[in-house]
Every structure is written in structure tokens, then in C-alpha cells.
Structure 1
Amino acid sequence: MKAFDSNAAANDEGQVSRDDRGSGELIWELVRHRVQPAQLSQNHYRRPELTQKLASTLKPGAILHLEAPAGYGKSGELRAALATLSPAPANIRWLSLNEQDNDPLRLYALLAVALTDRIDSRMSSLERRGQVFADALELLLSTTTFDQSTILVLDGVDLVCSQPALVVMKHLLRHQPKNLTLVLISKKSLPFETHSFELEGRFTRITAESLEFSREETTEFFRPALERGLLTQVAIEHLYSLTEGWITPLALYLRELESQGAGRVPVQESRSVVAFLRSLVQEQMSPAQVRSLAIMAELEVMNDELFLAIADGQCDRQFLPSVAVAQGLPVRCIPNRGHWYRMVPLVREWLLASPMLGREARATLACEWFYEHGQYGEALRYALICHDPERAGRIAAKGSEALLVGQDTASLLSLAQSLPSELIDGSPRLRVVYSWVHAFGGQFAEARALLDGIPDSSRQALRGRLAASRVFLLSGEGHVQKALAEAEAALDEPDLTPHGRLITLLVKSSALCALGKSAAAREAHRDAAKLARQSGDAGAELLAVYAHSKIELSKGALKHAENLLRTGLDAAASEPVRPPRAGESRLMLNLALVLWHQGRLAEANHLLIRFVRQAEKGRDLVLLVALSLRTLSAKVQGRLEEAFSWIGQAERVMQAWHVDEVVYEPVLEALKISCWLAQGQTDSAAQAMARLKPYREQHRILELFPMMPGLLDTLEVRLALANDQIEEARTLLDSKAFPDDHDTPFGHRLHGGLLKALVLFRQGSSGKAFELVAKLVDQAGAEHYVSPFLELRSEIRDLVVQVLAGMGRSPFTDTLRTLYGVEASAGEGGRGVELPEPISDREFGVLELIAMGLSNQSIADKLHISLHTVKTHARRINAKLGVRSRTQAIVRARELGLL
């Protein structure tokens, strides 16, 4: 970036000491015009949540720092927040700083005018030392009275970097008056420390992660263009993937779309977007720095050491990836990867559109660097880029086990496309490796073909590997019982490699967990975890933690699972330099699943956004799980159009990856049924259920979706209830696997129990239904297991609302009340309710038995009174509660807290 040159900078105030008083006053009047009011753009795209977030930080004595590269709408969003403040601030001063303001006199003059609207030309003759003007500023602050609505905005504060000017700036923050609100806007990190202000609780930093558009906001932003047919939902998703919510390129592209119509070009070729990128990169940097950035673009991921290994003599070798991040360029830190960085895809695509000579040579150097550091997946990627199949083959042979544990499917499949087909076909070892690769990618038919093609003469030497491959293949196809039998045989093979044994044990643990055999699953997992620790492979240990979390999730132990997952992610983050690992992304996915079950949808979606990006790049099949979660999240929030778009994206990706239909079709059909039920389209849901019949008859339990059989059972019951087929629903509940025992997955038990209660409620057995729901609420409350109540909300609303009316306060019941939009009744927790005529103890005893669902005759037998007396009590109860039926009496009594 350009450095400040104090000698070259224009210094208007320097004339004051040489000219007469009138000239000096004229210069100060020019300074006054630098201070501007905050004006909101008429075409500002409104983002209420972000606006409220910013507005909540604008308090007297507080400091708000907006830090993001150019184009993230920092100034616009701040103006929007200022416009919402109530009462409206009477005094907002907006000061845009530039490099010339590194002169301490000039900076002091600007601050003095902004804060007091007074000029002080006497300061012009003082020596230009920062401390002099800092002392003057401190005096000015201490002698000026600010009202409660004074806000000073310093835009471009990172441009003030000279030592004298920094002394003045630090004094402003350190001696900030209590009634003054400060806002700092910068493209890069501040050139002074702020941790002391953070510890005082008066400093808030908002970064690009908060300012960028979410995927949902991007869709809404382009909604008018979508409705006019200027682009499709697929195009919007691609735009978001490229820009990652970078606001200015999206806004420029939308404006160009609206002016040019259907004749659109890719965003990285858009005239206005290219002009923006050129001004951001080329006009702000030296040619050597531009070359450094272009070389960084050739790397998928980078760190300083790797960059130095491939940089040439034409680069600015001081302009490292870490420096690019600090300078506010669109280069980002990779979460959970230590000092690793990546470029925003739009900038990378634009830079790569003009390739530089020597790219293959640099790819070779990158390949060697990754290989030397044991990162075989990345080494393989760059071996393919430099078109060296021999080198790629050596890497695959050397690091095949590590690649398999890491599940780097994308690199291995790319390698397969570049290698001669006869090389793989003629190598039994490569056949085994690629059978694993295709199985990881859900291409089971191709995996089987590779294994079947191995000649008999080679099978004896590969017995252990072949057995482990068959285990994983059977598990992936959902043949759980066969996979378990094969796993036992594989573990008895003496030549089974440590990584093969580890994968086999993990598959065994998952299969036992899917069958509800938690104790046996934990035993298999213990063996796998021990082997992972002995291997010294951090990636293997992460996979072991992932398997453990699956067992805890099945049991419904959400809090323990969350602790396991966060501990595993923290352990992974403790390594300063590490390759991407499938285990780490799976921990992230399972953590999102835990958050989803607990109703923490915003947190879950934040994780899923990061995960989806990683999974798409690595061709990770668990992307299907992530997209399923995003579908359900959109559905339960009423965004059904978005939910169907996620289903469509999942289907397109699975087809593009040539995944076997048996892996994804049942999942997508189930998601469609859930969405159609939410829309009341029972015919469409019934047709989809019919299409799933062949799959259900095969009794498959897919490794990625062990909950699928139970999910389909519940959907079938829900479909019957939606069609008012109450007896059919009851028959299905009695015939399906909804046992209330500890071997059944906890989520399945909750879904089944709530549906049983709904059937009882609709059959008139309200008391039994209320009692069952109350029991389920207590069970779910221990782990804050919200998801069944969220998924079934539309069906069980009336039932749950009535139960909540009679339940006490707890974090879980409060969450349910918020979810169902009901308030806690004033009379919760006891019988001390004021009625016009109180209910007697005898009547209360009858009321309790009515609520339990007993008939009048059963109540008479239980209390040893006549049937006539029971009816009399019931009539009096109804009269005192102001209701006309038994059901209404139960509801009213629960609302009043009598039951």
C-alpha cells in the first residue's frame, strides 16, 4: 500500500506562520468544510438486524470500530444506524480523513472544528510535535461541554499512521468525554492498541464477517432481478459463492444487470466490477506488490512460508499474505487453520483470468513444499496443476493411507482423470485406493467394479485391504448387518494396515450405533480411539472424536456431544500449521447438528455456511447432510421457497458428482415431503412417500443418515394425520419402531411420543395426551432438545400450548413458549387462583381425574361415589371455570395453573 510521505503531502496550514492573519483564517475555514453531516443514501438496502446491532453500540462514552476492506458498506450501514436512533442525535460530525492528516496540526485542527466548531489559529505557529497538540486537545476536551447526543465519526482512521498524529489520536480515545460517542471506520487494523478500551467495556469491533451479505440476504437483494427473469436462483447462488457477500461488487453487478437486461456477463467480467477491483488492487499497490498478489491467487490456501517458497525475483517478497490481510485487502484468515489464508474467490478468479508465465514451475515448487510438510492432499493438487502424472502417482502411492483418512476425494478423483486408465486398471493397489475414493464419494457401483476387477492372483496379498474396503462399501450402501459381519472378518486379517483397521473400527461403531446398540458401539469406538492416538495422526484422532459424538447424539446427550465437539475443534486449532482434514469439518457439521437440535438456528447456520464452502471444494459427501440441515432450518422459519432451493442445489451437486441415487434420493424425497406437509400439499407428499416404498423395503440404514428409517416412519404418520386418517396413524404408530427404550435414538423417541400424543388428543383422550406431552417436555428439557417441537410445530401447536399453560417456568419451557408464541400464565405453579367461586377439594379431585382421561364411571369407581355425584361435580366445575365441556375444563384449568 502507499506509504505516507510527510514531505510530499500538501500542508495548507503550513502557510499560516508565513502569511497574515486573514490568510490563516481562510485556511481554517477550509478545514471546517471537511466536517460533514451523516446523510443516508436514498437507495440504501435496508438490513434491520445489522442496523439494530450497530445502533445498540452507539452510546455515550462508547467507541465503535468498523473494520473491513473496501466495498463492505461500512459508511452506509453506519448512516442507516444513525438514522434509527431515538431521540435523533442533535450533533453528528462526520470527518473523512486522508494521508495529509498525518500532520499533527492538521489533525488537531480537524478535531477541534469537529468537536467545538471553533477555530484556533494560534496553534498554527507551534512546533509540529504530537505531544503539543495532544495536550491542546486534552485541554479542549476538558473545557468543552458535550450533550448526550454528540457523535464523532472518523472515517479512514487507519490512514493516520505518523507517530505525531498517532499521539493526538490516542489522546482523543484515552480522554474521550463521557457524553461523546466515537465511531472509527477503517479498511485495515488500527495502528494503535485498543485492548484497554475493550477491557473497560466501551469498545466494540464490527468486521467484514458481520457486514457481508448472508446467502439469504443476497437472494433478497437480487429478488427484483430474479422476478424479472434477469438471472436465476442458480446464478444468485454462484454470485454468493464468488463474492461471499461482498456488497459493492454485488450492487455494481445488479446495477449493470438492470441497465443491460438479459445480456449479462459473469460477475468477474462485469465492466463496473472489474473497474472496482482494479481500483482496489492495481491503483493502490506497486507493480511488485500486484505480482505478489497474483502469485497468491495461484494458491488455493497459503501462508507466509509457502509464499516465500514460490515467490520470484519480480515480487515484493515483503508483501506476504499476512501483510495483505493487515492492509485490508480481500485476503482472509482461514478459520481454525492457524496462520493460513485464502483469497476471496471473486478477486482470485479475476487475477487468474490473466495468467502469468511460470505458473507450472510455481505449482511444482508448491507441490514439493506440501509434500515435504506431509500435506499429501495439497501436494497432489499442485502435481495435477503442473501436469506431472508421474509425480502425482508417487504422491498417491506414498500418501494413500493419509489421503484416505483425510478423505481428500477431490484431489484423488482429479488424479484419476489425469492418469492413464490402464495404469489404474493394471495396478491392484491403485484399484483398492480408488475403490475407497469412489465409496467416500458415494459412487458405490464404480467402487464395486474396481474391487471385482482385481485378479485372483493379487487378492491374497491384499486380503486385509479388500476386507476393509468391503466393510466401508457395505456401510455406505446402508447394509448395516452385512457390514458388521464383514468388519469382524476384516479385523481378524493380520495384514490389515493401521489406517484400514481404524476405518473398520469406526464403521463398526457407527453401524452398532445405527442399530441402537450403544454399549457395543462405545466399545468399538474405544478401540478405534486408542488406535488413533497410537498412530500419532491428528486427522485420525478427529475422526475418532466424530464417531464418539455420533454415539452421544443418538443417545440425545446434546450437552456432552457439544463439549466433545468443541474440545476436538479446539485441539485441532492448537496446531499452528495444519492441513485441511475431513475429521475437522465433520466435527463442525456435528456441532451444527447439536445446535440445530437445541434450536440455536443462527449459530448452526453460521457454522454451516463455512462448512458448505469447504465441502464443495473437497467433494465431501457430507455436504448432503449440511444442505439438508439448511433446508430444515429454512422450512421451520417459514422460508419454504428457500428450503426448496436448497433441495435443488443438493440434487444438482449430487448429480454433478455422479453420486449413486440410493444415497441422496431418499434424503431429498424426505425433505420434500416435510416441506409439502408444511404447505398442506398432501397429494405431492403421498406421491413422494410412494416413491420411497422400494427403498424402505430394503431396510437400508445409510452411514450418513442413520436417522432416515425413523424419519420416514414419522413422515408416514404425519401424512396420515394431515389427511385426517386418525386410525391409520394410530395403526402405523403401533406397528412402527417407536419403542420407549434406551436403544431407540432419543430424537426418534421424542418424535414418536409427540405423534402418539397428537393421535390421543385428536381421538378425544386429552388427559392422556397432555400427560404424555408433559412427560416428553421434561425428558427433552434436560438436554434442551428442541428440534422435534420445532419440526412438528404446526401439527402439535394446540396440544403443546395447552400443556405449557399448566407447566412451571424453566429455560426449556420458556424456549417452547417463545417458539409457540404464548405467554406464561400468571397463575403458574399452584392452585392459588382467584375464581368467582372457588373449586372445592372434592371437585378438584374429580377435575384431576378428568384431566387424566378417565370416564365418569371410572371416576365414580375410583372415588367410591355414585355416577350421579360425579356428573354433578363435573357440572359445577364447568360452571365455576366458565366452560361447557370436559376438554374445555381441562384447558381452562391448565391455563389457570390449577392442574
Structure 2
Amino acid sequence: MKPFEDGSAANDEFQSVSPGTHRGELVRDLLRQRVRIPSAPSDGLKRPPLTARIQEALGAGSVLYLEAPCGYGKSHALLSALHESERSPEMIKWISFSTQDNEPARLMTLLGIALNPQPSHDTPTLAHATASHSEALSLLLAQDYWQRPDRNAVMVLDNLTSVSHPVVIELLEQLIAELPKGLSLALVSRKPLPFETHKSELEGRFTRLGAEVLELSRQETFEFYSAALASSQLTTVAIDHLYSLTEGWITPLALYQRELAVLAESRLPIQETVSVERFLRDSVLSRLTPPQQRALRVMAEMDIVSDDLYGCLVDSSCDTSFRPSIAAEAGIPMRPLPGRGRWFRLNPLFHEWLRSSALDGALDRALAASRWFCQHHQLPEALRYALLSENAEEAVRIASEGSEALLIGQDTASLLRLRRSLPPGLLERSVRLRLVYSWVHAIGGQFTQARALLEGLPDDERESLSGRINALKAFILRGEGYVDEALEVADQALAAEVLSTQGQLVTQMVRSSALCAAGRFADARDANRAAARLAREAGDSGSELLAVYTHARIELGKGALKHAEQLLRTGLDTAMNETSRSTRVGESRLQLNLVLVLWHQGREAEADRLLVTCGRHAEQARDLGLLLAMALRVLICRTQGRLEDAFVWIGRAERTMHAWQVDESVFVPVLEALKASCWLASGNVDSAAHALARLQPYRETGCVPELIPMMPGLLDLLQVRIELARGDDIKAADTLRRIRLKDGGAIPFAVEMHLRLLESLLAYRERGVAAAQKLLAQAVYLAAQEHFISPFAELRIEMSELMEKAYPHLPEGEFTRSVGQLFGLSVAKVNAAPLAEPISEREQGVLELIARGLSNQEIADQLHISLHTVKTHARRINAKLEVKSRTQAIVRARELGLL
């Protein structure tokens, strides 16, 4: 190996250009032009959180590694952060690598130029002092100039993907290890670094930011397309679909944005536009060999793929060594599935694009995949690929041999697809399949179809199956919201002489849910403990997840958000640690209820990210929980003031439930209640009242939906809000009292919080701020224990006037500050104690007129009282406020939030 000497670049093909030039001098001049920061991005979406994170990672002597497949805006994000930092351009050294730089001497020349403290002069030759590149690098980094932390310089090594020379890799590793205090280092690549970094990470000076950080969030995607949305080029549904398909992949989104200007009237799906297809073909696939490209298309035939599964699918035309794990490390946009070992999934956009051109032998590979999953006891996946292979015999064999296992696997979608493929008459002849499909329809909210299958069972089978039938009937009754009836039938099922462990387990879960809806939390917890014990004894991890879900629902009903979150996260972590599993209803239900907890606590950004994932899972599994996912999306849109988007989501939910043939009794009350709430938020009280009136038949039955057990209480609260909006305070107060007495006072915590806020609002309207202040402070204190802020967000419009006046007197704390932020209040807190004697309602009216500058006579005329009475009120106001003049009274009243 040629030693580093006199600054010459190796393979200096430019020497013949200028024979009179000193050896390497021309190349050095050319390379010097490359060591400079590119100009700032002229446009693009501002991303303050990402910019702040990058700037924080570039501390003195620290290393930032940006690693993501092409198109994730790595260099763009870094450039934006550097240009927005306080560093001078001279303190930023940017080197973009090319394939020509994959040579030690050339790298050393670039580093020598970048690390020269005096850019206008050449660095002195190092040939006399060193015989190796490593020693030369050490000398460059050891210069006194770079030892001072206040230098605050950054060196960027961009496009490290092209680096493969062993010596170059060793020099980069040395650069990180010996990085001086006055310099920070930013590395940008599509691939993982080819050397270890754990020592630097443990020292707290190495930060890796991957695709999961660089990709746009759903909110940023909407912001990115705000102009297209405003001009009606795209709808919110289209943008939401774009985000789900791309998962925030920046370059395809940006290319599609440019295409919109051209396509306008006849826009294509993003995966079919010319520029996006060219990007996927030329930037992602072009670096692969034809056998690797075919291997990637074979992987795309699977929803998820592992190295082992891939091995049974490849043919002689594929690169057998290009396994999913190797593809992920090569910078292909695919990610490992958490907790699944070596299982991977492709980015949905890339996945769709690869699948757009079918390969020969696809049906045979689907059958091979089905048999592979059968061998690994993953029957839901086996059934799915048997159906895709169009082999009806194989699908029926799997369903017949493992029907109960499929049901436990909770893959409702595959079982429903199978029913359409069953040979005529098979379902009617098989009692076992009829019972399984009754459960399938019940899980999917198709209670009418479930009952029809049950009613068709032969009489001679009913007696022997009475326990299982009653278990299913109890499940259906609970799903329809009939709490007492469900408990009665569940007890009959448990009393049966023969009831399988699975049947006992489900029945105990039904009892737990019904008891929770009835407010009997202790009994509900006992039933759920029994269900969890049965699940563990049976080794049924899927049902264990459902038991955790039920336990969390109990805690949610009690208002214990923190405990519920702990349970849900523990359940999800447990599921994640199973190395072989498919997407199940239990897992998506855990995720959905975690979203519910996050929303209750006002953590909307976290809720938004998780909602995308669990909504997709619920849709894939044909889980009725998708209704809750869409309802949560409506709630988030409404609290953010995006009412049009909220109504769009209501429409999408309605269409989906109709397409899934879900009973109207399941989803209509939920969607009508959401409509009423949105109409109220928009000020359209009559439409809200009409929506509530349509729900009267449901309210009279007293049904408590399984998905949203607090629905009856929320409907009662909507009635109170409508009455208040119409100014009928007496009727609203009467409705509040009836709610308090309803069901023996067993009220879910969320409903209790709404009640307290509405009672404080009613007190304010009847008796003034002083009367409402104590009630409001109690509500804030109670909600602060769990940071339960969703009721305040729901009632923000109604509560705004009261909150503006009472906010200064609320209990100090983080929750109070969050409430103030929600209502846009930043009133300084008052240190003085509350008034010993509150201002009366009449005195409050006089005080407000005084603050408007009216004279005593003008106040008397306006209130139709005598001048003497006005003066008496004024004296009492001054005494209560402990002031001596009108001006002091106004100032003091403002400090106390009375004005």
C-alpha cells in the first residue's frame, strides 16, 4: 500500500492535463472545491422538532449518524439544521463521497483540506513525520486548534454508502474514536456503519437517527399538502391514504406534489405517476442485480417475510443469498417487525409498486407459503395463503382440521374470505363449522348472521352443545349492549356440565365486560382474573392479551389512566416478545385502548402515530375495533378544530361498517353521537338535537356498547349540552340531577368529569364566578391525578368564558398549565388567598359595568335600580376586594379573574 505523502491523490488521472503543474496540485485544487457546505434548501417543509434533535446531537466532540434508505431527506434535514444553527459557514466542512473517494489517499487529502485551520494555505506536508494514513489522521486531529470546545465546528461525511475499502473504513472508525472536542461529526448513509459504535454510544457522544425519525408524521404530511388541500386538488381522505401508503417517505411525497401541478384534472395514484415510478426504479432498484430484483419481487408477494420463509419460495432465477435481512441492511426500504426476530415488511408504497407486475409461479409460491406456515403452526397465515393460491381443497382442509385454532388466532378476515370459497352445502352439514362461523360473525359485529347460524343447528346437537351455545349467546348479547341479559346467559353457560376451557375463558371475559359496564368493578376484576388463569393454563397467548385488554378497560372505567397505560404497554411488550405470531384482534385492541388513554391525557401526537398502525391491524383482521379507531380519529380532529375532517371520518366509518355488514345497532349510536358532538362544536345546535333525537330508540333500550361502555352517559351529557346551548338552564339542571341518580350512581369516571364541569358551568350561569370557582377547582384537582384532560377539550367552547375568569384561582401544577394551554390562557397566577366573602351575582353585574367606565347613575339606569342601591353595591365590592377606589377595584378584580 502506498503511504500517505505530499498531499497527492492516488490514481491522479488529471496529471496529463497540465504537465507543468506540481504532482497532485491540480487534483488538490479540485478537491478543495468539494469541501464546502451546500447552499440552504430554498423550499421544503419546516420541521422544528427534527431540526432541534439534529442540533442537539451535534454537540462538541459528538457524532451524529443519519441512516435511512434513499429518499428520506437525510442530507436535506442535516443542511436545514446546520443553516439554522449559530455556526458560521467557515466552521462547517461538508464532504460528499463518490465511488472515486473509496481510496485511502484520496480520503486523507479531503480530510487534510477540511481540517486545515487556515483554508487559504496548504497544510504542511506530513511525509517527513509519518509513514501511515492512521498516524497522519492522528496528527490532523491532534492540532491544538481543534482541542477547544468553543470552536463548535462540524464535519459532514455524506453518502458513506459508497465506502467499502477496508483501510477507509478503519480511518473512519479512528476518526470517531479520536474526534477532538472542538469538532462534531455527522455521517450520512443508506446502510449501517461497517464497524462497532457501542463504546461511543455508552459514552453518550453517538446518536443514530433512522427512517423512523426522518419520515414525515401524519400531521406533517397534511401540512406538506396544505396548498393542494386548500385548492381542492386533494381531499383529506386522499392525503390520509398517501400517508398510510408512503408512511411518510419524503421523496415520493415531494415528487407527487410536483406531479399534482401537471396532472391536476386527471391525477394518478402515487405509485403510477411517472416521477415516482422513476425514483423507485432508478434510485431504489437500479443498484441491484437482476437476480436480486427478482428476489425482492418474490418477497413482495408476502405481507411479511423472514429469511426462512424466503428460502422456501426462491427459484433458480433469484439471488438466494439476497435474503430479507441482507436486503434491509443494503438500504432497501423495509423494516424488521418488532418482536418477530428476523421478520420484515416492505414499505407499503414500494410493496404495492413491486406487486404491480406479477411474476410467473405466484400461485405455486402462495401454496408453498401456506404449507410453510402450517408446518410452523401458524394456521391463520396458512389459511390466508391457501386462499391466495386459489386452492379451495387446501383451504377447506386447514379450516376443518384447525377451525378452533383459527378462531383462537382471531383472524376474522381470513375466515370470512374462506366462507365465500367453501363448497356448497359444506357449512350447513358441519355443525362444527357453523358454530365457528357464528363466533366469526359475532366477533365482526354481524350479530344477525351469527344468530341465524345458531338457530339452524339440529335439535339433537343443541343439548350436547348447550354450554358452547350459551357462551356464544352471552357474547352476542354483550356485543349488542344488553348487560343484564348477557350476565344471565353467561351464568347458564358456566353452569353447563361440559364447557371447554376456551368456552369458559370467553364467558368469563363476557362477564367481566358486562360487570364493568354495570359499574361493578370489583366483580369485573374477579371474572377477568378467572379468564386470565384459564388462558395461562391453556397456553393461549392470544386470549391472555384479551384478558389484559379487559383488565385495562376496567381501570379505564375507574379513571385510572396511568395504571391502564402500564397494563396495556406490558401486554404489548409481552406480545412483542413472541417470536412467532400473526396479527391478532387482542393485540390491536391493546393498541386501540392505549390510543384512548393517550387521547384522554392530551398526548395527541403519540396517539396519532399509534392510531395509524393499530387502525391498519384492525382492518386487516376485520376487527370491529376499527370502529373505535375511526371514532378516535374523529375525536382528535374535533379537538383540533378540524370539523370538516371529523365529518369525513364519520362518513368513512359509516361506509366501512355497511361494507362489513355490521349490525346497525352496533355502529349507528356511536356515529350519531359523534355527529351531534361535531354539530355542537360548530354551533349548529338544531342539527345536534336532531342527531340526538334519532338515538332516542337506542337510549330507551338502555344498551351499553362493548366498545364504548360510557356511551349512555355521554348521550345524556349531550342532552345537557344541547339544553345549555338553547339557554334552558332549568331543564339542563334537572337532566344533570337525573344522570346523578341513574343506575344507582354507578358512573364511569369520564362521565363523572363531564358532569362536574357542566355543574360548574351551570353554577356560573346561575350564581356567578365565585359559585362556580369551587366546583371547577375540585374538578381540576380530581382530573390532575391522572392528567385526564379530554373532558376539558370536549367542553372547551362551553367552558371558555368561565375558564377565562376562574383560571387564576385553579390549583397550581402541571395539569393546570396544560388546561391553560388548551384554553389559550396565560394569566399570571395570583398569590393572594381567595376572597373571604365572594362577590354576589348582582355585585358582579355592577362590577362589570364599573369596569366599562359607566357612572353610578348610568349603572342605575341600565340595571333599573336606584342610585343609592348602586352606591351600596359599590361600597360592598370595595370592602370585599379590600380596596378604596373604583380604579383599584378594577385592577384587583382583574387579578382575581373576576373580569
TM-score scaled by structure 2?
A: 0.89
Cα separation, 1, equivalents of 2:394 and 2:341: 28
Letter of the 1:70 counterpart: C
Cα separation, 2, equivalents of 1:868 and 1:656: 67
Residue 536 of structure 1 corresponds to which residue in structure 2?
A: 539
Residue 340 of structure 1 corresponds to which residue in structure 2?
A: 343
Cα separation, 1, equivalents of 2:316 and 2:131: 40
Cα separation, 2, equivalents of 1:335 and 1:255: 35
Q: Which of 811, 815, 830 is 1:812 aligned to?
A: 815
Residue pairs, 1:26-175, within 5 angstroms: 26-86=26-86, 89-116=89-116, 117=119, 119-120=122-123, 122=125, 130-140=133-143, 148-175=151-178
Aligned residues with identical type, % of pairs: 47
Residue 797 of structure 2: SS of its match in structure 1? helix
Cα separation, 2, equivalents of 1:847 and 1:419: 75
Q: Which of 568, 571, 574 is 1:571 aligned to?
A: 574
Residue 699 of structure 2 corresponds to which residue in structure 1?
A: 696
Cα separation, 2, equivalents of 1:637 and 1:779: 24
Which shows bigger deviation, 653-662 or 796-805?
Answer: 796-805
Cα separation, 1, equivalents of 2:843 and 2:372: 72
Task: Say whether 1:294 aligns with 2:300.
Answer: no
| CA deviation after TM superposition for structure 1 residue 509, in Å | 0.5
Residue 788 of structure 2 corresponds to which residue in structure 1?
A: 785
Residue 153 of structure 1: SS of its match in structure 2? strand
Residue 401 of structure 2 corresponds to which residue in structure 1?
A: 398
Which shows bigger deviation, 142-151 or 808-817?
Answer: 142-151
Task: Say whether 1:733 aligns with 2:736.
Answer: yes
The answer to whether the 8 Å contact 1:490/1:504 transfers is yes
Q: Which of 485, 489, 492 is 2:492 aligned to?
A: 489
The answer to whether the 8 Å contact 1:546/1:586 transfers is yes
| CA deviation after TM superposition for structure 1 residue 449, in Å | 1.7
Unaligned runs of 5+ in 2: 1-8, 845-868
Cα separation, 1, equivalents of 2:291 and 2:144: 45
Cα separation, 2, equivalents of 1:543 and 1:566: 13
Residue 668 of structure 2 corresponds to which residue in structure 1?
A: 665
Cα separation, 1, equivalents of 2:401 and 2:703: 36
Residue 624 of structure 2: SS of its match in structure 1? coil
Residue 770 of structure 2: SS of its match in structure 1? helix
The answer to whether the 8 Å contact 1:253/1:272 transfers is yes
Deviations 1:368-391 (A, max 9, x none): 221222211111101101112222
Cα separation, 2, equivalents of 1:521 and 1:425: 37
The answer to whether the 8 Å contact 1:243/1:346 transfers is yes
Cα separation, 2, equivalents of 1:888 and 1:721: 30
Cα separation, 2, equivalents of 1:621 and 1:129: 67
Cα separation, 2, equivalents of 1:305 and 1:881: 82
- How many residue pairs were aligned? 862
Cα separation, 2, equivalents of 1:884 and 1:335: 67
Residue 762 of structure 1 corresponds to which residue in structure 2?
A: 765
Q: Which of 876, 879, 887 is 1:877 aligned to?
A: 879
The answer to whether the 8 Å contact 1:91/1:149 transfers is yes
The answer to whether the 8 Å contact 1:16/1:125 transfers is no
Letter of the 1:237 counterpart: D
Residue 35 of structure 1: SS of its match in structure 2? coil
The answer to whether the 8 Å contact 2:837/2:880 transfers is no
Residue 514 of structure 1 corresponds to which residue in structure 2?
A: 517
The answer to whether the 8 Å contact 1:105/1:124 transfers is no
Cα separation, 1, equivalents of 2:128 and 2:20: 12
Task: Say whether 1:244 aligns with 2:247.
Answer: yes
Cα separation, 2, equivalents of 1:288 and 1:625: 44
Distance 1:648 1:59, change over 3 A: farther
Residue 92 of structure 2: SS of its match in structure 1? strand
| CA deviation after TM superposition for structure 1 residue 197, in Å | 2.7
The answer to whether the 8 Å contact 1:768/1:852 transfers is no
Residue 649 of structure 2 corresponds to which residue in structure 1?
A: 646
Deviations 1:795-847 (A, max 9, x none): 1133334444224422322322333333464543758xxxxxxxxxxxx6445
Cα separation, 2, equivalents of 1:612 and 1:882: 63
Cα separation, 2, equivalents of 1:126 and 1:104: 18
Q: Which of 433, 436, 446 is 1:433 aligned to?
A: 436
Cα separation, 2, equivalents of 1:453 and 1:740: 37
Distance 1:99 1:724, change over 3 A: same
Letter of the 1:112 counterpart: G
| CA deviation after TM superposition for structure 1 residue 237, in Å | 2.7
Residue 861 of structure 1 corresponds to which residue in structure 2?
A: none
| CA deviation after TM superposition for structure 1 residue 412, in Å | 0.8
| CA deviation after TM superposition for structure 1 residue 469, in Å | 1.6
Residue 77 of structure 1: SS of its match in structure 2? helix
Residue 152 of structure 1: SS of its match in structure 2? strand
Residue 325 of structure 1 corresponds to which residue in structure 2?
A: 328
The answer to whether the 8 Å contact 1:104/1:133 transfers is no
Letter of the 1:561 counterpart: A
Task: Say whether 1:718 aligns with 2:721.
Answer: yes
| CA deviation after TM superposition for structure 1 residue 524, in Å | 0.9
Cα separation, 1, equivalents of 2:175 and 2:325: 29
| CA deviation after TM superposition for structure 1 residue 402, in Å | 3.1
| CA deviation after TM superposition for structure 1 residue 53, in Å | 3.7
Distance 1:527 1:152, change over 3 A: same
Distance 1:851 1:58, change over 3 A: farther
The answer to whether the 8 Å contact 2:147/2:182 transfers is no
The answer to whether the 8 Å contact 2:808/2:897 transfers is yes
Residue 763 of structure 1: SS of its match in structure 2? helix
Cα separation, 1, equivalents of 2:660 and 2:205: 50
Task: Say whether 1:794 aligns with 2:793.
Answer: no
| CA deviation after TM superposition for structure 1 residue 542, in Å | 0.9
Cα separation, 2, equivalents of 1:157 and 1:237: 34
The answer to whether the 8 Å contact 1:102/1:162 transfers is yes
Residue 216 of structure 1 corresponds to which residue in structure 2?
A: 219
| CA deviation after TM superposition for structure 1 residue 633, in Å | 1.6
Which shows bigger deviation, 701-710 or 778-787?
Answer: 778-787
The answer to whether the 8 Å contact 2:780/2:811 transfers is no
Letter of the 1:115 counterpart: L
Which shows bigger deviation, 818-827 or 749-758?
Answer: 818-827
Task: Say whether 1:683 aligns with 2:686.
Answer: yes
Cα separation, 2, equivalents of 1:226 and 1:895: 41
Residue 498 of structure 2: SS of its match in structure 1? coil
Q: CA RMSD in A?
A: 3.3
Letter of the 2:319 counterpart: D
Which shows bigger deviation, 652-661 or 48-57?
Answer: 48-57
Deviations 1:308-346 (A, max 9, x none): 232223322222211222122111122343432111111
Cα separation, 2, equivalents of 1:786 and 1:236: 29
| CA deviation after TM superposition for structure 1 residue 755, in Å | 0.6
Which shows bigger deviation, 225-234 or 461-470?
Answer: 225-234
| CA deviation after TM superposition for structure 1 residue 228, in Å | 4.2
Distance 1:232 1:750, change over 3 A: closer
Cα separation, 2, equivalents of 1:673 and 1:124: 81
Cα separation, 2, equivalents of 1:337 and 1:883: 74
The answer to whether the 8 Å contact 1:767/1:852 transfers is no
